[in-house]
Protein backbone atom coordinates (compact mmCIF):
# COMPACT_ATOMS: atom_id res chain seq x y z
CA UNK A 1 0.00 0.00 0.00
CA UNK A 2 1.09 3.58 -0.60
CA UNK A 3 2.58 5.04 2.61
CA UNK A 4 2.69 8.63 1.35
CA UNK A 5 1.14 11.16 3.74
CA UNK A 6 -1.24 13.62 2.06
CA UNK A 7 -0.83 17.31 2.88
CA UNK A 8 -3.81 19.66 2.66
CA UNK A 9 -2.63 23.25 2.27
CA UNK A 10 -5.87 24.67 3.69
CA UNK A 11 -6.35 22.61 6.85
CA UNK A 12 -2.61 22.14 7.57
CA UNK A 13 -1.57 25.74 6.95
CA UNK A 14 -1.08 26.62 10.63
CA UNK A 15 1.45 23.79 10.94
CA UNK A 16 3.08 24.55 7.57
CA UNK A 17 3.53 28.25 8.44
CA UNK A 18 5.98 27.32 11.22
CA UNK A 19 8.58 26.32 8.63
CA UNK A 20 11.00 28.52 6.71
CA UNK A 21 9.79 30.20 3.54
CA UNK A 22 13.24 30.02 1.95
CA UNK A 23 13.96 27.69 -0.93
CA UNK A 24 15.52 24.38 0.18
CA UNK A 25 19.28 24.26 -0.24
CA UNK A 26 20.33 22.22 -3.24
CA UNK A 27 23.74 20.95 -4.28
CA UNK A 28 22.51 20.06 -7.78
CA UNK A 29 24.46 21.74 -10.60
CA UNK A 30 23.58 22.14 -14.29
CA UNK A 31 25.94 19.26 -15.09
CA UNK A 32 24.14 16.79 -12.83
CA UNK A 33 21.98 14.10 -14.41
CA UNK A 34 18.31 15.11 -14.72
CA UNK A 35 16.85 11.89 -16.13
CA UNK A 36 17.45 8.73 -18.12
CA UNK A 37 14.97 7.92 -20.90
CA UNK A 38 15.16 4.67 -22.81
CA UNK A 39 14.84 4.71 -26.57
CA UNK A 40 15.13 1.81 -28.98
CA UNK A 41 15.61 3.87 -32.15
CA UNK A 42 16.03 1.63 -35.17
CA UNK A 43 17.89 -1.13 -33.32
CA UNK A 44 14.97 -2.50 -31.35
CA UNK A 45 17.25 -2.77 -28.30
CA UNK A 46 16.46 -0.16 -25.62
CA UNK A 47 19.28 2.13 -24.54
CA UNK A 48 19.19 4.65 -21.72
CA UNK A 49 20.01 8.24 -22.73
CA UNK A 50 21.71 10.34 -20.02
CA UNK A 51 20.35 13.91 -19.98
CA UNK A 52 21.71 16.72 -17.78
CA UNK A 53 19.76 19.58 -16.18
CA UNK A 54 21.59 22.03 -18.44
CA UNK A 55 20.40 20.17 -21.55
CA UNK A 56 16.78 20.73 -20.57
CA UNK A 57 16.96 24.32 -19.27
CA UNK A 58 18.76 25.61 -22.37
CA UNK A 59 16.06 24.08 -24.60
CA UNK A 60 13.58 26.66 -23.32
CA UNK A 61 16.07 29.53 -23.21
CA UNK A 62 17.08 28.85 -26.83
CA UNK A 63 13.49 28.76 -28.12
CA UNK A 64 12.16 31.69 -26.06
CA UNK A 65 12.54 34.10 -28.99
CA UNK A 66 9.99 32.08 -30.97
CA UNK A 67 7.39 30.98 -28.46
CA UNK A 68 7.24 33.54 -25.63
CA UNK A 69 5.47 31.08 -23.35
CA UNK A 70 4.09 32.68 -20.19
CA UNK A 71 2.22 32.06 -16.94
CA UNK A 72 -1.15 32.34 -18.69
CA UNK A 73 -0.47 29.31 -20.88
CA UNK A 74 -2.22 26.01 -20.26
CA UNK A 75 -0.37 22.87 -21.36
CA UNK A 76 -1.37 19.21 -21.51
CA UNK A 77 0.79 16.35 -20.32
CA UNK A 78 -0.47 14.06 -23.07
CA UNK A 79 2.53 11.79 -23.50
CA UNK A 80 4.02 9.15 -21.23
CA UNK A 81 6.98 10.29 -19.16
CA UNK A 82 8.87 7.43 -20.83
CA UNK A 83 8.70 9.47 -24.09
CA UNK A 84 10.87 12.59 -24.13
CA UNK A 85 8.13 14.75 -25.66
CA UNK A 86 6.80 14.77 -22.08
CA UNK A 87 9.90 16.69 -20.94
CA UNK A 88 8.90 19.58 -23.21
CA UNK A 89 5.29 19.42 -21.97
CA UNK A 90 6.09 19.15 -18.27
CA UNK A 91 8.84 21.75 -17.97
CA UNK A 92 7.38 24.06 -20.58
CA UNK A 93 4.45 24.58 -18.22
CA UNK A 94 6.35 24.63 -14.92
CA UNK A 95 9.35 26.78 -15.92
CA UNK A 96 7.03 29.53 -17.16
CA UNK A 97 4.59 29.26 -14.26
CA UNK A 98 1.80 28.00 -16.49
CA UNK A 99 -0.83 25.38 -15.75
CA UNK A 100 -0.29 21.72 -16.63
CA UNK A 101 -3.31 19.50 -17.29
CA UNK A 102 -2.44 15.84 -16.78
CA UNK A 103 -4.42 13.91 -19.39
CA UNK A 104 -5.82 10.59 -18.11
CA UNK A 105 -4.69 7.68 -20.25
CA UNK A 106 -8.21 6.73 -21.35
CA UNK A 107 -8.87 10.28 -22.51
CA UNK A 108 -5.61 10.34 -24.49
CA UNK A 109 -6.89 7.29 -26.39
CA UNK A 110 -10.27 8.89 -27.18
CA UNK A 111 -9.98 11.81 -29.66
CA UNK A 112 -13.46 13.15 -28.90
CA UNK A 113 -12.87 13.11 -25.15
CA UNK A 114 -9.48 14.75 -25.59
CA UNK A 115 -10.95 17.48 -27.80
CA UNK A 116 -13.56 18.18 -25.12
CA UNK A 117 -10.78 18.39 -22.53
CA UNK A 118 -8.94 20.95 -24.68
CA UNK A 119 -12.11 23.04 -24.76
CA UNK A 120 -12.93 22.65 -21.08
CA UNK A 121 -9.43 23.41 -19.81
CA UNK A 122 -8.85 26.19 -22.38
CA UNK A 123 -5.51 24.68 -23.39
CA UNK A 124 -3.19 27.11 -25.19
CA UNK A 125 -0.13 24.92 -25.92
CA UNK A 126 -0.68 21.50 -27.47
CA UNK A 127 2.08 19.03 -28.33
CA UNK A 128 1.20 16.12 -30.60
CA UNK A 129 2.64 13.49 -32.85
CA UNK A 130 1.28 13.99 -36.39
CA UNK A 131 -0.67 10.72 -36.24
CA UNK A 132 -2.43 11.75 -33.00
CA UNK A 133 -3.24 15.18 -34.43
CA UNK A 134 -4.85 13.62 -37.50
CA UNK A 135 -7.42 12.09 -35.14
CA UNK A 136 -8.06 15.52 -33.61
CA UNK A 137 -8.56 16.98 -37.08
CA UNK A 138 -11.24 14.36 -37.68
CA UNK A 139 -13.04 15.45 -34.48
CA UNK A 140 -12.56 19.12 -35.40
CA UNK A 141 -14.52 18.55 -38.63
CA UNK A 142 -17.57 17.03 -36.92
CA UNK A 143 -20.75 19.16 -37.25
CA UNK A 144 -21.14 19.56 -33.48
CA UNK A 145 -17.64 21.04 -33.22
CA UNK A 146 -18.08 23.76 -35.82
CA UNK A 147 -19.76 26.03 -33.26
CA UNK A 148 -16.92 25.92 -30.72
CA UNK A 149 -13.46 27.42 -30.76
CA UNK A 150 -10.33 26.10 -29.10
CA UNK A 151 -8.07 28.41 -27.08
CA UNK A 152 -4.87 27.13 -28.69
CA UNK A 153 -1.96 29.49 -29.39
CA UNK A 154 0.55 26.81 -30.40
CA UNK A 155 0.43 23.28 -31.78
CA UNK A 156 3.88 21.68 -31.80
CA UNK A 157 4.56 18.47 -33.75
CA UNK A 158 7.28 15.98 -32.92
CA UNK A 159 8.02 12.31 -32.49
CA UNK A 160 7.54 11.26 -36.12
CA UNK A 161 7.72 12.60 -39.65
CA UNK A 162 5.00 15.08 -40.57
CA UNK A 163 2.96 14.75 -43.78
CA UNK A 164 1.98 18.40 -44.35
CA UNK A 165 -0.91 17.60 -46.69
CA UNK A 166 -2.76 15.98 -43.80
CA UNK A 167 -3.12 19.45 -42.25
CA UNK A 168 -5.18 20.95 -45.08
CA UNK A 169 -8.58 20.32 -43.40
CA UNK A 170 -7.31 22.09 -40.28
CA UNK A 171 -6.08 25.12 -42.20
CA UNK A 172 -9.37 25.38 -44.09
CA UNK A 173 -11.25 25.85 -40.84
CA UNK A 174 -8.75 27.75 -38.69
CA UNK A 175 -6.64 30.86 -39.15
CA UNK A 176 -3.18 30.32 -40.59
CA UNK A 177 -1.65 31.98 -37.53
CA UNK A 178 -3.96 31.16 -34.59
CA UNK A 179 -2.96 28.68 -33.50
CA UNK A 180 0.46 28.61 -35.09
CA UNK A 181 1.43 25.08 -36.11
CA UNK A 182 5.13 24.20 -35.77
CA UNK A 183 7.09 21.16 -36.90
CA UNK A 184 10.04 20.31 -34.64
CA UNK A 185 12.40 17.49 -35.58
CA UNK A 186 14.15 16.00 -32.59
CA UNK A 187 15.91 13.05 -31.02
CA UNK A 188 16.16 11.87 -27.41
CA UNK A 189 19.97 12.02 -27.63
CA UNK A 190 19.85 15.75 -28.41
CA UNK A 191 17.20 16.67 -25.80
CA UNK A 192 13.75 16.54 -27.34
CA UNK A 193 13.91 19.14 -30.16
CA UNK A 194 16.54 20.11 -32.73
CA UNK A 195 14.76 22.24 -35.35
CA UNK A 196 11.88 24.71 -35.71
CA UNK A 197 9.57 25.18 -38.69
CA UNK A 198 6.37 27.28 -38.55
CA UNK A 199 3.92 25.61 -40.94
CA UNK A 200 2.11 27.57 -43.64
CA UNK A 201 -0.58 26.68 -46.15
CA UNK A 202 2.14 26.48 -48.83
CA UNK A 203 3.76 23.64 -46.85
CA UNK A 204 0.52 21.65 -47.03
CA UNK A 205 0.64 21.72 -50.83
CA UNK A 206 3.98 19.91 -50.82
CA UNK A 207 4.78 16.25 -50.35
CA UNK A 208 8.03 17.17 -48.59
CA UNK A 209 8.52 17.18 -44.82
CA UNK A 210 10.18 20.49 -43.96
CA UNK A 211 11.78 20.67 -40.52
CA UNK A 212 13.07 24.23 -40.72
CA UNK A 213 16.21 25.55 -39.07
CA UNK A 214 18.30 24.44 -36.11
CA UNK A 215 17.58 25.79 -32.64
CA UNK A 216 20.07 28.68 -32.13
CA UNK A 217 22.35 26.92 -29.62
CA UNK A 218 22.71 23.82 -31.81
CA UNK A 219 24.83 23.13 -34.88
CA UNK A 220 23.35 20.89 -37.55
CA UNK A 221 25.56 19.54 -40.30
CA UNK A 222 24.55 17.37 -43.26
CA UNK A 223 27.53 15.23 -44.22
CA UNK A 224 28.49 12.47 -46.65
CA UNK A 225 30.08 9.13 -45.76
CA UNK A 226 33.50 10.82 -45.48
CA UNK A 227 32.07 13.34 -42.97
CA UNK A 228 32.33 16.14 -45.52
CA UNK A 229 29.54 18.71 -46.02
CA UNK A 230 27.28 17.95 -48.96
CA UNK A 231 26.21 20.68 -51.42
CA UNK A 232 22.85 22.41 -51.14
CA UNK A 233 19.97 20.09 -52.17
CA UNK A 234 22.15 16.96 -51.91
CA UNK A 235 21.07 14.36 -49.31
CA UNK A 236 23.34 13.41 -46.44
CA UNK A 237 23.24 12.29 -42.83
CA UNK A 238 22.44 14.82 -40.10
CA UNK A 239 24.93 15.40 -37.30
CA UNK A 240 23.89 17.54 -34.33
CA UNK A 241 26.25 19.42 -32.01
CA UNK A 242 25.83 22.03 -29.31
CA UNK A 243 24.26 22.47 -25.90
CA UNK A 244 21.51 19.91 -26.44
CA UNK A 245 23.83 16.95 -27.03
CA UNK A 246 23.56 14.59 -24.07
CA UNK A 247 26.21 12.55 -22.21
CA UNK A 248 25.59 9.34 -24.09
CA UNK A 249 24.12 5.96 -23.15
CA UNK A 250 23.91 4.40 -19.71
CA UNK A 251 26.42 1.54 -19.36
CA UNK A 252 26.94 1.44 -23.15
CA UNK A 253 30.41 2.98 -23.68
CA UNK A 254 31.00 1.35 -27.07
CA UNK A 255 27.68 2.55 -28.45
CA UNK A 256 28.27 6.02 -27.00
CA UNK A 257 31.63 6.19 -28.74
CA UNK A 258 30.06 5.08 -32.02
CA UNK A 259 27.15 7.56 -32.00
CA UNK A 260 28.67 10.58 -30.21
CA UNK A 261 31.67 11.55 -32.28
CA UNK A 262 34.20 14.35 -32.80
CA UNK A 263 34.22 16.19 -36.11
CA UNK A 264 37.54 17.46 -37.40
CA UNK A 265 39.87 18.69 -34.66
CA UNK A 266 37.08 19.92 -32.38
CA UNK A 267 36.64 18.69 -28.83
CA UNK A 268 32.86 18.68 -28.54
CA UNK A 269 30.67 15.75 -29.46
CA UNK A 270 28.27 15.56 -32.37
CA UNK A 271 25.44 13.08 -32.43
CA UNK A 272 25.23 10.89 -35.53
CA UNK A 273 21.47 10.79 -36.07
CA UNK A 274 21.03 8.09 -38.70
CA UNK A 275 18.56 10.44 -40.42
CA UNK A 276 18.79 11.67 -44.00
CA UNK A 277 18.09 15.28 -44.92
CA UNK A 278 19.15 18.02 -47.28
CA UNK A 279 19.61 21.76 -47.03
CA UNK A 280 17.39 23.82 -49.30
CA UNK A 281 18.55 27.03 -51.03
CA UNK A 282 16.60 29.14 -48.50
CA UNK A 283 18.48 27.61 -45.56
CA UNK A 284 15.66 25.34 -44.41
CA UNK A 285 16.05 21.59 -44.07
CA UNK A 286 13.96 18.87 -45.70
CA UNK A 287 13.72 15.59 -43.79
CA UNK A 288 14.14 12.52 -46.02
CA UNK A 289 13.79 9.63 -43.57
CA UNK A 290 15.95 7.09 -41.79
CA UNK A 291 19.09 5.76 -43.43
CA UNK A 292 17.99 2.24 -42.50
CA UNK A 293 14.35 2.99 -43.46
CA UNK A 294 13.16 2.18 -39.95
CA UNK A 295 11.47 4.27 -37.25
Give 179-217 pLDDT, tens digit per residue. Answer: 999 999 999 999 999 999 999 999 999 999 999 999 999
More confident residue, 258 or 7: 258
Could you tell me what percent of the chain has a pLDDT over 90? Answer: 87
- In whole angstroms, give the CA distance from residue 272 to residue 49: 14
Whether pLDDT at 162 is above 50: yes
Task: Look at residue 218 and give its three-state secondary structure.
Answer: strand
Span 253-257, average pLDDT: 97
- In whole angstroms, give the CA distance from residue 114 to residue 172: 21
CA distances from 243 to 8, 188, 193, 223, 246 (A): 40, 13, 12, 20, 8
Whether pLDDT at 62 is above 90: yes
- In whole angstroms, give the CA distance from residue 187 to residue 161: 12
Span 239-251, average pLDDT: 98
Span 48-56, average pLDDT: 98
Dihedral of alpha carbons 224, 228, 230, 236, sign: positive
Span 256-282, average pLDDT: 94
pLDDT at 3: 80
Whether pLDDT at 295 is above 60: no
Please name which of 269, 279, 278 lies closest in space to residue 242, comparing C-alpha atoms. 269
Which has the minimum average pLDDT: 82-86, 186-190, 248-252, 289-293?
Answer: 289-293
Whether pLDDT at 2 is above 80: no
> Residue 33: CB partners within 8 Å, gap ≥ 6?
50, 51, 52, 53, 247
More confident residue, 238 or 178: 238
Span 69-75, average pLDDT: 99
> Residue 115: CB partners within 8 Å, gap ≥ 6?
136, 139, 140, 145
For residue 93, the surrounding DSSP H or E stretch is: helix 85-95
CA dihedral 77→28→50→240, nearest 10 degrees, is 90
Whether pLDDT at 294 is above 50: no
Span 255-281, average pLDDT: 94
Whether pLDDT at 239 is above 90: yes
Please name which of 189, 187, 160, 185 lies closest in space to residue 48, comparing C-alpha atoms. 189
For residue 223, the surrounding DSSP H or E stretch is: strand 218-223
For residue 131, the surrounding DSSP H or E stretch is: helix 130-140
Mean pLDDT of the chain: 95
Preceding peptide of 179 cis, ω within 30°: yes
Band (pLDDT 50/70/90 cuts) for residue 264 is confident
pLDDT at 42: 58
Measured in whole angstroms, the distance separating CA 167 from the mean position of its chain's CA atoms is 19
User: Has this prediction a pTM greater than 0.85?
Assistant: yes
- In whole angstroms, give the CA distance from residue 193 to residue 196: 8
Whether pLDDT at 140 is above 90: yes
pLDDT at 41: 62
For residue 95, the surrounding DSSP H or E stretch is: helix 85-95
Domains and CATH numbers, the chain: 25-217 (3.40.50.12780)
Contact criterion met (CB below 8 Å) for 208 and 185: no
Band (pLDDT 50/70/90 cuts) for residue 293 is low
Amino acid sequence: ANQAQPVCLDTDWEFISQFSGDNPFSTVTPDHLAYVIYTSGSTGKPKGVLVNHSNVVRLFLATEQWYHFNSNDVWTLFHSYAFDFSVWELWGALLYGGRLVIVPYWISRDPKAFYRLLLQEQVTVLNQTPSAFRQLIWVDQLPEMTQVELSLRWVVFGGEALEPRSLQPWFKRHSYHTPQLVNMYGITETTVHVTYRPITWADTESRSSFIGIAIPDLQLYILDDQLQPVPISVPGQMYVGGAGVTRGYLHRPELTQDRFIKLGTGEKNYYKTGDLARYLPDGNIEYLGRIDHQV
